[in-house]
Amino acid sequence: MLRFDHEELALMPSLRALYAADVRFVEVIGKWLIALAQSINARPPALRLLDEQRASGWFDRSDMVGYCAYVDRFAGTLAGVERRVGYLRDLGVRYLHLLPFLRTRSGDNDGGFAVRDYGEVDPALGSNTDLASLTAVLRAQGISLCADFVLNHTADDHAWALAAKSGSVTHQDYYHRIADAGLVARYEATLPEVFPMSAPGNFTRVDALDGWVWTTFYPYQWDLNWSNPKVFAEMSLAMLRLANLGVEVFRIDSAAYLWKRLGTACTNLPECHLVLRALRAVAAIAAPGVLLKAEAIMPMRELPRYFGSGGRGGEECHLAYHSSLMAATWAGLATQRADIVASVLTRSPRPPSGCAWINYVRCHDDIGWQVLAHEAAGHGGCAPFDLDWVARFYAGEVAGSYAQGEAFQSQGLEHAHGSNGMAASLVGLHRAIASGDAEQQQLARRRLLLLYGLCLSGAGVPLLYMGDELALGNDESFRLHPQRRLEGRWLHRPAMDWVLADAVDAGDGIAAATHATLRRWIGLRAAHPELAPSAPLRAWTDPGSAVLVVARGENFLALFNFTDHVQTLDLRTPDHGDAWFDVLAGCRCLSPLRIEPYGTHWLVRQ
Ligand code: GLC
């Protein structure tokens, strides 16, 4: 039985707006509706039960904490991940994002983001049966599995791409094939470049197609033509097949790029939002417990639309990465300025009901600086700052920098694009350990905890990046790997160190200490409903200091000293009241509160 009562309201208008002018629409959508019904009928009983149990915004709880990892780097295979579920549970994880695990392109594959078959787990990582088994085990532990839905492009050895190369016009139309070099140049005139150094341009010449194919990312990632209703039909069904294997959250990869129009940047176009709205409706009809999470690494002004822009919003993705906040936190740390983060937090729109930001410190990608261009130019209500300098800081190229990272895709010393490196290396922890300087180690450790303290106390679902809980550092081994050596993002994709992880309870080193602190803070977060994603947030910088104050409701304050010197905060002001308990330190606060360099405090009103 199709649940078309409410969702149809969003589905059919979106589909009609996208495709009604296409002569194939009626036939394609007619057949697709039958397949949709079959997918609904095939949904396993355990997942139907989950659908029924889930109310809107079920993830809006302070114990909702995510963890992101590559399957192979974390535990070898999906079965290996299953054996490590206890580790995640113990850390307090409720949501696991496993980076792409579907059958991938042979050879280089952008860490799995070049998918060859959307219906099959990559044999190197396991099987569909292993996936269903893992999702069942996770579900039993109250952990939701998130998978990437790489829908902007397929691998160039996907069956559709192979058919296109063999001359199938039907399949050529699944992609953007352009025969005219002049048209390619006209598109390029307004297009940004995602990998300007390693994959310049947005098109790749393919002789078998006697023309160019649109490749926003690497030449082997062919952009799908979402203006073709067959692409919508095939891809939405692929998503539902994965949902029926127990995937509960889809990370909508490269969400901003789905639609192309000459003369524009081909990002964030209205039709792109219609596609997301239609996919959301499909999920709501056929797998209502499932969430969509937008990966749109775009300036903040573009982000709220990924939640939906209709009257009440919330018709597109349930979750969206807050990339501006992530980048602003790193910029604030380098410049020792709390106001950059305060300005981003103050201007962050509150997501519609049933939606939430994803807050994160690091992920498998670089820290992209361009999302902050507007703020850096002084338009965000804070004084301007220099993003090129920030990128150089994290590359360890400015005097006084403690960071051990690298610039990514930056053209020379100007035009900062992104920065690579594990959080612990970017905050200088491993350099300090190597130097044996205990004071520097302490400062670096505080910087790492400040980043996670903010992530865990902000308004959103916090996401830990694999290895940060053990303060793992950069992995230089990619430089010897034939396919990875030119892809700097592998610097922060280390293998999990299970020797360290298995010893956290007994160990006394930096890994054990970081793990213990983060586990405790995750527990404290869970115990404070004021920290639920949608609970109110106000942020400001204390006028007398460079301390960021984040208030969650009336009774919870999180304080962050972004500088390398002690700050004091008068807690007896009307804003602060006077009786506070420091939940991280486990003691009553004395006013004025002394905040150590890069110190973090969470205070609860007594
Ligand atoms: C997303 C992924 C990134 C990948 C790109 C192309 O941005 O996070 O790792 O390179 O999409 O699929």
Distance 548 CA to ligand 1 centre (A): 32
On whether the CB atoms of residues 372 and 328 are closer than 8 A, the answer is: yes
CA dist 578 and 575 (Å) reads 9
CA-to-CA dists, residue 526 to 69, 92, 547, angstroms: 22, 9, 25
Using most ligand atoms within 8 A of CB, pick from 153, 252, 253 the residue to mutate for ligand 1: 253
What is the per-residue pLDDT across 433-457, written as a single tens digit (0 to 9) for each? Answer: 999 999 999 999 999 999 999 999 9
- Binning pLDDT at 50, 70 and 90, where does residue 313 land? low
What per-residue confidence (pLDDT) applies to 409?
Answer: 87
Q: Which of 6-15, 106-115, 371-380 has the lowest mean pLDDT?
A: 6-15
The residue whose C-alpha atom lies closest to atom 2 belonging to ligand 1 is 253
- How would you label 530-547 residue by residue, b for 16+ Cβ within 10 Å and e otherwise? bbbbbeebebbbbeebbb
Q: Which atom of ligand 1 is nearest to the CA of 114?
A: 12
Query: What is the token pair recorded at 336?
Result: 């020792």
If 0-12 CB within 10 Å is exposed, 13-18 middle and 19+ buried, where does residue 268 land? buried
Q: Report the percentage of the chain scoring pLDDT > 70.
A: 96
From the CA of 297, how far away is ligand 1's center (Å)? 10
For a pLDDT cut of 90, what percent of the chain falls above it? 89
Give me the pLDDT at residue 591, please: 82
542 band by pLDDT with thresholds 50, 70 and 90 = confident
Token pair, residue 193, equals 């470049």
Residue among 148, 157, 234, 253 flagged as catalytic = 253
Please identify, by atom number, the ligand 1 atom nearest to the C-alpha of residue 363: 8
- pLDDT at position 527 is 98
pLDDT of 413 > 60? The answer is no
The CA distance from 147 to 145, in Å, is: 7
| DSSP letter, residue 224 | B
DSSP for 264-315, written as a single string: S-SSS-HHHHHHHHHHHHHHHHH-TT-EEEE-----GGGGGGGG--SSS--S
Residue whose structure tokens are 């790749």: 204
Distances in Å between the Cα of 164 and the Cα atoms of 37, 140, 169, 173, 214 are 29, 43, 7, 8, 13
Return the minimum-mean-pLDDT range out of 213-217, 267-271, 492-496, 574-578.
574-578
Distance 186 CA to ligand 1 centre (A): 25
Q: Which atom of ligand 1 is nearest to the CA of 364?
A: 9
Expressed in angstroms and rounded, the spacing between residue 403 Cα and the centre of ligand 1 is: 25
Question: Which atom number of ligand 1 is nearest to the Cα of residue 216?
Answer: 6
Nearest protein Cα to ligand 1, atom 12: 113
Centre of ligand 1 to C-alpha 381, Å, is 31
Q: What tens digit of pLDDT does each residue of 416-433 get?
A: 789 999 999 999 999 999
Ligand 1 centre distance from Cα of residue 365 (Å) = 7
pLDDT per residue as tens digits for the range 135-193 = 999 999 999 999 999 999 999 999 999 999 999 999 999 999 999 999 999 999 999 99
Residue nearest ligand 1's atom 8 by CA: 365
Residue 260 has pLDDT above 80, yes or no: yes
- CB under 8 Å to 8, separation ≥6 — which residues? 281, 285
pLDDT of residue 486: 87
**What is the rounded distance in angstroms from the CA atom of residue 283 to the CA atom of residue 369?**
33
- How close is the Cα of 20 to the center of ligand 1, in Å? 31
Residue 577 confidence (pLDDT) = 57
pLDDT at 355 over 60: yes
pLDDT at residue 385 tops 60: yes
**pLDDT, position 1:** 42
Q: Which of 68, 110, 154 to mutate to test the pocket of ligand 1 (most atoms within 8 A of CB)?
A: 110
**Does the pLDDT at position 286 exceed 70?**
yes
If you take atom 3 of ligand 1, which residue's CA is the nearest one?
Answer: 365
302 is catalytic: no
User: Which structure tokens are listed for 424?
Assistant: 């612990």
Active-site option among 295, 315, 375, 469 = 295
Which of the four pLDDT bands, split at 50, 70 and 90, describes residue 8?
low
In the predicted model, what is the mean pLDDT of residues 548-565? 96
Name the residue with the closest Cα to ligand 1, atom 7: 254
Q: Ligand 1: which of 217, 326, 358, 465 to mutate, most ligand atoms within 8 Å of CB?
A: 217
Ligand 1 atom closest to the Cα of residue 365 is 9
pLDDT for res 185: 98
CA–centroid distance, residue 253 to ligand 1 (Å): 7
Q: What ligand 1 atom has the least distance to the C-alpha of 110?
A: 10
Least confident of 184-193, 226-235, 309-318, 372-381: 309-318
Q: Is the pLDDT of residue 51 over 70?
A: yes
Lining residues, ligand 1, CB within 6 Å: 110-111, 113, 150, 217, 253-254, 295, 364-365
Dihedral sign for Cα 284, 286, 289, 295, please. Answer: negative
A 10 A CB-CB count for 120 gives 14
Phi/psi at 557 (5° precision): -125, 130
CA of 205 to the centre of ligand 1 (A): 21
Mutate to test the pocket of ligand 1, among 113, 149, 152, 193 (most ligand atoms within 8 A of CB): 113
Asked if residues 454 and 495 have their Cβ atoms less than 8 Å apart, the reply is no
Report the pLDDT value the prediction gives residue 310, as an integer from 0 to 100. Answer: 62
Q: How high does pLDDT run on average in the chain?
A: 94
Ligand 1: residue whose CA is nearest its atom 11: 254
| pLDDT at residue number 578 | 66
How far, in Å, are 48, 317, 352, 539 from residue 314 at the CA level?
22, 7, 6, 24
Tell me if residue 386 is catalytic: no
pLDDT at residue 85 greater than cutoff 60: yes
Q: Is the pLDDT of residue 10 over 90?
A: no
pLDDT at 197: 85
Only one residue has tokens 């700097």, namely 488
Whether pLDDT at 332 is above 90: yes
Least confident of 161-175, 276-290, 405-419: 405-419
